[in-house]
Amino acid sequence: MRNIRTLVAPVLALVFAAGPVAAQSSSGVTGTAAKASASTEKPVVIQNIRPTDKRGLTVFEPPKEEIIFDGFKLDFGAAFTQQFQALDHSNTADTNLNPNARLADLGWGFNLATANFYLNAQLAPGVRVALESYMSSRHHAEFWVKGGYLQIDASPFEIAALENLMQYLTLKVGHFEVNYGDAHFRRTDNGNALYNPFVENFIMDAFATEIGGEVYFRKDALLAMVGVTTGEIQGGVVDPDERAPSFIGKLGFDQEIDDQLRVRLTGSIYTTEKSANNTLYAGDRAGSRYYNVMDNDAGADFRNGRMNPGLTSKVTAYQFNPFVKYGGVELFGVYEKAAGRSAAEVDNRNWTQYAGDLVYRFLADESAYIGGRYNVVEGELAGVTDKVSVDRVQIGAGWFITPSILMKAEYVTQKYKDFPVHDIRNGGKFNGVMIEGVVAF
């Protein structure tokens, strides 16, 4: 790897320049008096919503809380992030067989800043609407909408039986991020990188926005969810014979045993019999954080470092996620199996993913952390007999300067094994340092 020591210092200085913001109150007053009298946390005015700032850490499904309604509310939010990247890559692909397998000359630099915009409205007791947009993303130059949905946690009608039932039920309808697995709650979503203790998501990144509905049942520590969607990222009414609904389910429990110990375990399923273009593993149109790694000069792959199994026509996937938090120590795991095929294939192909995060949060209010992640994916490529695999190690650390400002850094190394000799990923590997600054409120 190139010598980057002379580069890290100015980047740290740039990120730490955000430090003075932490000393200002919302009224612009600085100093000890302001720190004592003003909160740096944005007031939560929308019911049953996951806060965008540090309070949203280790929150999975939005909370189901007692409804106290004091009128219509409108709330805006945003998230911004930018990275400094210093990664190297190499491969052993045969460029005589495939000239496009020659890797680009990769160096250090700053990636394009990305940003999200959130608009939420409380319409009635327990009834809210959300609109989520990307103001700037790696893959789209224009401002575009990620999705929007209506969430109902209380009966809009004064019917006793329905009011009693809605104490346990939540209904979500619209165009939204489907709740398959728990890993999507800890991922980076374009400009919102605050929930992710590392810089990039899991190698096989299950994330999709689809049109449909989900119904949740929650009582004490128990959680159950069923959902049905169109199975595709966009709506459509043509070629009905090529499409079928996708069905989603989740079952689990989440309980705080005492003030130190929390235990959560869930199992999820996503299945569709046929689709014109299912994107369960390619639904992130914003792109990855590892710019241009394992890519040629054309730079066409905006999801660098991830593994898309290409199960676009038929897919059935399972994901199991244990989560344990004891004091400041967090353990999160992923075990995932996926089987399916593209429209051009006859037989199903199989993929497996394992991952584990170990994070230790410390200092006052757990404002700093260190952690490590190991992630491995193996499976069958279309038209290739032997299985391939990808493994990654990430070592990271972070510091919440305020509940809305996070600085984090990681060292990453990733290797590709058993890819065909003409594939650009043959003998591939990349490693190096990433530094990221995040603002979310």
Distance CA 316, CA 269 (A): 7
The closest of 97, 82, 59, 305 to 201, measured between CA atoms, is: 305
Distance CA 180, CA 270 (A): 6
Distance CA 329, CA 253 (A): 19
Sequence-distant (≥ 6) Cβ neighbours of residue 294 within 8 angstroms: 89, 91, 103, 301, 304, 305, 416, 424, 425, 428, 430
CA 426 to chain centre: 28
Q: Which helix (H) or strand (E) holds 121?
A: strand 114-124
Provide the token pair at 324.
């344990």
Distance CA 386, CA 380 (A): 7
pLDDT of residue 37: 59
The closest of 375, 384, 393 to 349, measured between CA atoms, is: 384
Going 42 to 45 to 48 to 49, the CA torsion angle's sign is negative
Going 415 to 420 to 424 to 426, the CA torsion angle's sign is positive
User: Residues in the chain with pLDDT < 70?
Assistant: 1-37
pLDDT of residue 33: 43
Domains and their CATH numbers in the chain: 5-440 (2.40.160.10)
Question: What are the CA-CA distances from residue 273 to residues 64, 105, 339 (Å)?
Answer: 33, 42, 11
Contact 231, 278 (CB under 8 A): yes
The closest of 148, 198, 153 to 61, measured between CA atoms, is: 153
Provide the token pair at 271.
């299945």
Sequence-distant (≥ 6) Cβ neighbours of residue 348 within 8 angstroms: 314, 339, 340, 341
Provide the token pair at 107.
């160096």
H helices present in 38-177, as ranges: 160-165
The closest of 222, 264, 265, 228 to 249, measured between CA atoms, is: 228
pLDDT of residue 299: 87
